[in-house]
Amino acid sequence: MAEKNDFLEALEKKARMFYPSAHKAYEHNQDICDWLLFPLSRWAREAYGEEVFEHAVKGYAQYCMHVSQAQRKYEQEGKYTPESLPDIIEHVYEDSAYMTPYMWAAILIYAFWESMANHIRLFRDEFLDKLPATPTILELACGHGVMGLAAIEHRKDATLTGYDISPTAIGIARKLAGASGHADRACFAVKDVLTLDDQNEAHGYHGIMAAMLAEHLQTPHALFASISRNLKPGGLAFFSTALESPQRDHVYEFHKESEAILMAEEVGLRVIRLVCDSGNRLPGGRFLPRAMAMVLTKDAPQ
């Protein structure tokens, strides 16, 4: 008998409007969704108790509604209209009442949105599996920490460092790390990921993760520069971003996949794998929301 999916079961009970599309996406990608969600179910239950699944899917439903509203406004305005950066920091990243449900939604979209499932396949098969033995991994803007914890769940020989600007997110990441049994290989801290210097970061990492971060930055070029500074020569980076997909804290408007590719190339990074899948365009809409993920490498100096 197949193991039940706790998050999907809770979604059917507590947020039925969003269940059919989520169930469809999950069925299409069950193998990779289970790879992510089954360990997370164990960690979440251990850290927060049985009620965590109801809280998580309510956060997911709220998130989906906000995304839909933002997309409609985007079509009306013809451009992103985010909040000011100080307001985003105060009312999003530093607001635990907002950030906690947001953090759960930010991981559930990988399993419940068709446009995101291939990100996890790329992450596991072309990033994690291609890292060398005993790799050191850095996660930039780690948020809930689930992606990083999934990385060291999969790679038992890896160690993880995760940084995020949000104290609430780091609190969640540390609690899940304790529940996962991987706390001895995972370190999470509050830090601005754009100010990291490889001289203070053990001379670089074998792998760097920067998932769905660039669109939150006023200057994503600085993110690619940080990745390049802190990645060992020959190392791998997993990068993902949203294109034409507005939210209240999305401040950089990517329209073309080539924009992110060129930013990476400008700082000596090279794309070796790429996936990009579309979300739901509004009927008659001008913009096509998409989710793009890349595996990058930095060549060794000649």
pLDDT digits 0-9 by tens, 95-120: 666 667 888 899 999 999 999 999 99
pTM of the model: 0.93
Spans of the chain, pLDDT less than 70: 1-3, 84-99, 197-202, 300-302
Biggest alpha carbon distance in the chain? 58
Per-residue pLDDT, 100: 77
243-254 pLDDT per residue, tens: 999 988 899 999
Per-residue pLDDT, 197: 67
Per-residue pLDDT, 95: 63
Per-residue pLDDT, 1: 36
Backbone angles phi, psi at 195, to 5 degrees: -105, 5
Per-residue pLDDT, 97: 66
Per-residue pLDDT, 166: 87
- Token duo for residue 112: 């419940």
Rounded-to-integer distance, Cα 70 and Cα 51, Å: 29
Per-residue pLDDT, 226: 94
60-98 pLDDT per residue, tens: 999 999 899 999 999 999 999 887 655 666 656 566 666
Bridge pairing between strands 269-278 and 186-190: unpaired
Angle between helices 96-112 and 167-180 (to 10 degrees): 60
Per-residue pLDDT, 152: 98
Rounded-to-integer distance, Cα 93 and Cα 170, Å: 11
